[in-house]
Amino acid sequence: MPKRLLAPLPGLFYRRPSPEEAPFKQEGDAVAAGETIGLIEAMKSFFPVEAETAGKLARFLVQDGETVDADQAIAEME
Amino acid sequence: MAIKSLFIANRGEIAVRINKAAKALGIRTIQAASEADTDSLACRLADEMVVIGPAQAAKSYLNVEAIVQAIKASGADAVHPGYGFLSENPRFVSAVEAAGITFVGPDAGTIAKMGDKAMARAEAVAAGVPVVPGSEGRVADLDDARRQAARIGYPVMIKASAGGGGRGIRIVENEASLETLVPQAMAEARASFGDDGLYMERYIQNARHIEVQVLGDGTDVVHLFERECSLQRKRQKVWEEAPAAMLSKAVRDALCASAVALARRVNYRNAGTLEYLYDSKTEEFFFIEMNTRIQVEHPITEAITGIDLVQAQLRIAGGERLWFTQGDITQTGHAIEVRINAENPAKMFMPSPGLVASYRAPEGENIRFDTLLFEGYRVQPYYDSLVGKLIVWAPDRSAAIAALENALNGLTVEGIHTTAPLHLALAEDAEVGKGLFHTAWLESWMAARAREASRA
- ipTM value, please give it: 0.83
Kindly tell me the burial class for residue B90, based on how many C-beta atoms sit within 10 Å of its own C-beta (0-12, 13-18, 19 or more).
middle
- The answer to whether the CB atoms of B351 and A9 lie below 8 A apart is yes
* Average pLDDT value for chain A: 92
Q: Tell me how close the Cα of A53 comes to any Cα of chain B, in angstroms.
A: 23
* pLDDT at position B140: 85
What does the alpha-carbon distance between residue B166 and residue B420 come to, in Å, rounded to a whole number?
A: 31
pLDDT the model gives residue B167: 64
Chain A residues whose CB is inside 8 A of the B350 CB are: 9, 47
CA Rg value for chain A: 11
Residues of B with CB under 8 A from a CB of A: 55-56, 342-343, 350-354, 381-385
Q: Whole-angstrom Cα distance, residue B398 to residue B59? A: 45
Amino acid letter, B328: D
User: What is residue B164's predicted lDDT score, i.e. its pLDDT?
Assistant: 61
Rg (alpha carbons) of chain B, rounded to whole number: 23
The pLDDT score that the predictor gives to residue B72 is: 98
Q: Is the whole model's pTM more than 0.80, yes or no?
A: yes
- Interface check A18 vs B, CB under 8 A: no
What is the per-residue pLDDT for B165? 57
Q: What is the mean pLDDT of each run of 10 residues along chain B (456 residues)?
A: 95 98 98 98 98 95 97 98 96 98 98 90 96 88 94 91 70 94 89 84 94 98 98 94 97 98 98 97 95 98 98 98 98 98 94 96 97 97 96 98 98 98 98 95 94 84
Query: Given this model, what pLDDT does residue B309 score?
Result: 98
Query: Pick from A9, A12, A67: which is nearest to B350 by CB?
Result: A9
Contact B343 A43 (CB under 8 A): yes
pLDDT value of residue A33? 94
Half-sphere exposure of residue B161, counting CA atoms within 13 Å on the CB side?
16
Alpha-carbon distances of B43 from B55, B69, B209, rounded to whole Å: 15, 19, 35
pLDDT reported for residue A1: 59
**pLDDT attached to residue B118:** 85
Could B384 and A44 be called an inter-chain contact, meaning their C-beta atoms sit closer than 8 Å? yes
Do residues B351 and A8 lie in contact, with contact meaning Cβ atoms separated by under 8 Å? Answer: no
Residues of B designated catalytic: 293
- Measured between beta carbons, the chain B residues lying within 8 angstroms of A12 are 56, 381-382
Q: Could you name the CATH architecture of A3-77?
A: Beta Barrel (2.40)
Q: Is A72 on the interface with B (CB under 8 A)?
A: no
**A66 φψ region: left (φ > 0), alpha (ψ -120 to 50), beta (else):** beta
Report yes or no: B153 and B166 within 8 Å, Cβ to Cβ: no
Residues of chain A with C-beta less than 8 angstroms from the C-beta of B352: 9
- Residue B51's pLDDT is what? 98
**Phi, psi of B47, deg, nearest 5:** -75, -30
Find the residue in A nearest to B387 (Cα).
A43
Q: What's the average model confidence in pLDDT over A31-46? A: 93
pLDDT in tens, B46-80: 999 999 999 999 999 999 999 999 999 999 999 99
